[in-house]
Amino acid sequence: MANVRRSRTAAPGLGRRRPLTAPAKAGALVRLLLDRLGSDVHDLWTDEDAVEVQIDGARNVDVLRRLRDDPELGFFFLADAAAVDYGPGVRFEVVYHLYSDRHPAWLRVRAHVSRDDPRLPTVTELWEGAMFHEREMYDMMGIVFEGNRDLRRIYMSPNYRSFPQRKDFILPDDAADSSAAGVNPLERPETWDLRRFSETLAPGASAPADEPVAAAGAAVEAGQTDADKSRPR
Amino acid sequence: MTAVDPETRIPDPLDLERLEEDRLRAAAGLAPQKKAAGEYAGFEQVGLPDRPPETERERQLFSLEEGEMLVNMGPQHPSTHGVMRLLVKVRSEVVTDLDVVLGYLHRGIEKLCENATYTTVLTYVDPMDYMSAMHNEHAPALAFEKLYGIEAPMRAQYIRALVVELNRVFSHGLMMGFLALDMGGITPLLYGFINRDEIVDMLSAISGQRMLFNFFRVGGVNFDVNDEFISRLGHWRTRALATVEDNERILTQNEIFTARTKGLGVLSAKDAISLGVSGPNLRASGVALDIRKAHPYPPYDELEFEVITQSGGDTYARYLQRVAEIKQSIHLIDQIVDQMPHGPVQAQVPGIIRPRPGRAYAAVESPRGLYSVYAISDGGPNPYRFRMRDPSFISLQVMPKLMPGHLIADTMAIMASLDPIMGGVDK
């Protein structure tokens, strides 16, 4: 492709940083949310095109119903519902993205869920379309939606037991036994062990980097690590 | 539906031994040999899986009334648009209930992307919805730019819109073809592929690849437009409307086509919103929701177009919506080419991008609807969480709603009108 013109030169305005302040257009929405939701809003942020509220997981149906049915808010369309795992011992979050044709911003509702007992009410009574979202969250993260009448696995087979998108789930083919905790070292530049590569090129030299790896592997085989519990069997 | 008498003999033509035995018994003046109940017509328990139902919905699905049976369509079925299985409950030829069984193509792309750098994520998402790979890259690119706090140059935004609209034209064009193919017509598919191959060649001239383009970058696009792309675009543009209209002439007034699509699978606006249907399927039900208008991303705020809607909400309306959107996209392409500014196509970003910790949500209007990405950064080189909302995944939920009461042969027509792509559904 000889005639491809690549222009990567710096120019005025190129790579302009985005404004960090929230646009004024979301201000009306923020005031309205604080007025209508009151004490249900634990925290509130504004993004450049989204307003974000944090609520309690157990109150999700009540809050979302008010957001949907209030004529001034009018968030009638559930754009997305996704779960986020903040790691063992921290929490889960179920994140709802809502659309309203009355406001020029997305609304992101973050519902905090305990990671030890991940349960929260279903919102399928508000939006039937939340069914597949909730089935996916149950399948991938193991979050139980109480009241959902079809909560079964959607991607994995029915007899599958672990929850693959949790952060403590180690990809089986990603060196599950390594000290790098399941992260493919080639895809994380800061974990590149250049000394080890050079030793591969010069065989015969000792490889000290291998020792912790072997030790971790033995621990996994003996069933001594937490990580082993989440591996598919 | 008349009850099937378990005593009624329905011989299995392949069971020759028993046939021969019965023939001898008949010759000897004896009645045919009786079989165990399960070996007879067996209409009462056919198709039930060998496990108990897990949920209330499954219990409802697995409880068969008199004359009902469960039939599996797929997972390898020529018209399921990928590897999926439909568990159809039928009473003779009429579908009474339906369940969508997914996961045959599940690759765990979201999890893979959590272990990939921001730049390589854009290559992982390509094979998701392989009919609209450009849209798949568009939303992550926008989301990562928000995370990183950078904006792509205006020329890059226009090139993005150009390739994305070209992609929409061939995706909708193929939908017309596949809809006709699922009802027995082959020609519209071939016409659709004429258009599609020209566009794919064009996109391969600009990106270097035919289907999985890997064209978008965080902060711009990989290449500027080149002479070959421009000449192919001009060549295609002279005949673009004509090929679409050729296809339309075959289908829109076709008696068989209209008889089989009008009034079939009517989706009301209320149901469509509740079920999360988006894109052309939602607009065919009369809801004017188009992300390009609702939350415009550049350069759509500078282009002139109206949100097209239909009123029917049936399979025919969904077809008409696609035809109208093809013409709209061609109109948009004209505007984009006219207004495209000069300048660079790539912002200055480092090879390994490490955004500040934060969250970003970006949604684009893909040919199948609202395709959105929610990305969380923890300050490292990989996204901490990378979530994709695929429109066809959500749209498939309407199948159990639309199908009851329709004939089993219409299952595929209704499904083709929803235009799901399994690569995106299963992620």
Written in H, E and C, the secondary structure of chain B is CCCCCCCCCCCCCCCHHHHHHHHHHHHCCCCCCCCCHHHCCCCCCCCCCCCCCCCHHHHHHHCCCCCEEEEEECCCCCCCCCCCEEEEEEECCEEEEEEEECCCCCCCHHHHHHCCCHHHHHHHCCCCCHHHHHHHHHHHHHHHHHHHCECCCHHHHHHHHHHHHHHHHHHHHHHHHHHHHCCCCCHHHHHHHHHHHHHHHHHHHHHCCCCCCCCEECCEECCCCCHHHHHHHHHHHHHHHHHHHHHHHHHCCCHHHHHHHCCCCCCCHHHHHHCCCCCHHHHHCCCCCCHHHHCCCCCHHHCCCCCCCCCCCCHHHHHHHHHHHHHHHHHHHHHHHHHCCCCCCECCCCCCCCCCCEEEEEEEEECCEEEEEEEEECCCCCEEEEEEECHHHHHHHHHHHHCCCCECCHHHHHHHHHCCCHHHHHC
Question: CB B361 to CB A130 under 8 A?
Answer: no
**Tokens encoding B38:** 């399960």
Question: CB B343 to CB A48 under 8 A?
Answer: no
CA A61 – CA A81 distance, rounded (Å) = 13
Q: Establish if A4 belongs to a structural domain.
A: no
User: Could you say which DSSP state residue A221 is in?
Assistant: H
Mean predicted confidence (pLDDT) in B252-278: 89
Q: Which residues contact A1 (CB under 8 A, 6 or more apart)?
A: B208, B226
User: Could you say which DSSP state residue A4 is in?
Assistant: -
Backbone dihedral region for residue A154 (phi beyond 0: left; psi -120 to 50: alpha; all else: beta): alpha
User: Are A138 and A193 members of one domain?
Assistant: no
Of the candidates B135, B219, B336, B230, which has an alpha carbon nearest to the alpha carbon of residue A4?
B230
Q: Which of A146, A176, A204 is the last residue before a domain boundary?
A: A146
User: Are A211 and A104 members of one domain?
Assistant: no
Q: Establish if A226 belongs to a structural domain.
A: yes
Is B102 part of the contact surface with chain A (CB cutoff 8 Å)? yes
Question: CB B393 to CB A132 under 8 A?
Answer: yes
Coil vs helix vs strand at A120: strand
B109-389 carries CATH number 2.30.110.10: no
Q: Establish if A178 belongs to a structural domain.
A: no
Question: CB A171 to CB B382 under 8 A?
Answer: no
Question: CB B110 to CB A151 under 8 A?
Answer: no
Q: Which of residues 298-337 of B touch A (CB under 8 A)?
A: none
Quote the number of domains for chain A.
2
More confident residue, B142 or B91: B142
Question: CB A128 to CB B295 under 8 A?
Answer: no
Q: Taking 50 as the threshold, does the pLDDT of residue A195 lie above it? A: no
Question: CB B381 to CB A189 under 8 A?
Answer: yes
User: Are A52 and A139 members of one domain?
Assistant: yes
pLDDT at B333: 93
Buried b (16+ CB within 10 A) or exposed e, B79-113: ebbbbbbbbbbbbeebbbbbbbebbbbbebbbbbb
Phi/psi at B362 (5° precision): -135, 135
Instruction: Find, in chain A, the residue whose alpha carbon is nearest to that of B376.
Output: A84
Question: CB B151 to CB A10 under 8 A?
Answer: no
Cis check: omega of the bond before A118, within 30 degrees of 0:
no
Q: Taking 60 as the threshold, does the pLDDT of residue A231 lie above it? A: no
Query: Which of the four pLDDT bands, split at 50, 70 and 90, describes residue B10?
Result: low
User: Are A38 and A107 members of one domain?
Assistant: yes
The interface predicted TM-score (ipTM) is 0.83
CA B252 – CA B255 distance, rounded (Å) = 9
CA A91 – CA B178 distance, rounded (Å) = 45
Query: Whole-prediction pTM value?
Result: 0.79
Query: Which of the four pLDDT bands, split at 50, 70 and 90, describes residue B388?
Result: very high
Q: Judge contact between B372 and B363, C-beta under 8 A.
A: yes
Total number of residues shown for chain B: 427
Instruction: Find, in chain B, the residue whose alpha carbon is nearest to that of A187.
Output: B116
**Residue A213: is it exposed, middle or buried by C-beta count within 10 angstroms (0-12/13-18/19+)?**
middle
Is B140 part of the contact surface with chain A (CB cutoff 8 Å)? no
Coil vs helix vs strand at A204: coil
Q: Establish if A212 belongs to a structural domain.
A: yes
Question: CB A80 to CB B374 under 8 A?
Answer: yes
Question: Chain A closest CA to B384's CA: distance in Å?
Answer: 9
User: What's the CATH code of the domain at A65?
Assistant: 3.30.460.80
User: Are A216 and A138 members of one domain?
Assistant: no
Coil vs helix vs strand at A96: strand
Q: Which residues contact B36 (CB under 8 A, 6 or more apart)?
A: none
Give me chain A's average pLDDT, please.
Answer: 70
User: Are A37 and A122 members of one domain?
Assistant: yes
Question: CB A47 to CB B359 under 8 A?
Answer: yes
CA distances from A157 to A162, A233, B267 (A): 11, 13, 30
Question: CB B103 to CB A157 under 8 A?
Answer: yes
**Tokens encoding A222:** 């003996």
Query: Which of the four pLDDT bands, split at 50, 70 and 90, describes residue A39?
Result: confident
Size of interface A-B (CB pairs under 8 A): 171
Buried b (16+ CB within 10 A) or exposed e, A116-125: eebebbbbbe
Mean predicted confidence (pLDDT) in B251-276: 89
CA distances from B138 to B125, B156, B331, B373, B422 (A): 10, 12, 20, 10, 19
Question: Chain B closest CA to A153's CA: distance in Å?
Answer: 9
User: Are A133 and A51 members of one domain?
Assistant: yes
Question: CB B372 to CB A97 under 8 A?
Answer: yes
CA B4 – CA B66 distance, rounded (Å) = 9
Which of B110, B271, B347 lies closest to A15 in CB terms?
Answer: B347
Of the candidates A125, A12, A4, A107, which has an alpha carbon nearest to the alpha carbon of residue B343?
A12
Question: Chain B closest CA to A86's CA: distance in Å?
Answer: 9
Q: Taking 90 as the threshold, does the pLDDT of residue A97 lie above it? A: yes
Which of B54, B103, B273 lies closest to A155 in CB terms?
Answer: B103
Which of B116, B394, B396 lies closest to A187 in CB terms?
Answer: B116
Question: CB B146 to CB A77 under 8 A?
Answer: no
Angle between the N-to-C axes of helices B227-251 and B187-207, in degrees from 0 to 180, rounded to the nearest 10 = 170
Q: Which residues pair with A225 in a beta bridge?
A: none
Q: Which residues pair with A45 in a beta bridge?
A: A52
In Å, how far from its chain's centre is CA B248?
21
Condensed to tens digits (0 to 9), the pLDDT of residues A125-167 reads 999 999 999 999 988 888 888 888 888 888 888 777 778 888 8
User: Are A131 and A193 members of one domain?
Assistant: no
Is B295 part of the contact surface with chain A (CB cutoff 8 Å)? yes
Question: CB B385 to CB A49 under 8 A?
Answer: no
DSSP letter string, A169-184: PPPTTTTTTSTTTT--
Instruction: Find, in chain A, the residue whose alpha carbon is nearest to that of B104.
Output: A155
Q: Which of residues 32-71 of B touch A (CB under 8 A)?
A: 51, 54-58
Question: CB A20 to CB B149 under 8 A?
Answer: yes
Domain boundaries, chain B: 109-389
Backbone dihedral region for residue B300 (phi beyond 0: left; psi -120 to 50: alpha; all else: beta): alpha
Question: Chain B closest CA to A204's CA: distance in Å?
Answer: 32
In B, which residues are within 8 Å of A154 by CB distance?
102-103
More confident residue, B308 or A213: B308
Which of A49, A104, A127 lies closest to B274 in CB terms?
Answer: A127
Backbone dihedral region for residue B103 (phi beyond 0: left; psi -120 to 50: alpha; all else: beta): left
pLDDT at B18: 67
User: Are A135 and A189 members of one domain?
Assistant: no
In A, which residues are within 8 Å of B145 by CB distance?
18
Q: Taking 90 as the threshold, does the pLDDT of residue A205 lie above it? A: no
Question: CB B387 to CB A49 under 8 A?
Answer: no
Phi/psi at A128 (5° precision): -60, -30
Question: Chain A closest CA to B282's CA: distance in Å?
Answer: 11
Query: Which of the four pLDDT bands, split at 50, 70 and 90, describes residue A109?
Result: very high
Question: Chain A closest CA to B178's CA: distance in Å?
Answer: 25
Residue A207 lies in domain: 185-230
Condensed to tens digits (0 to 9), the pLDDT of residues B91-138 reads 888 899 999 988 888 888 998 888 888 888 998 898 888 888 999 999
Which of B227, B345, B397 lies closest to A7 in CB terms?
Answer: B345
% of residues, chain A, pLDDT over 70? 62
pLDDT at A190: 40
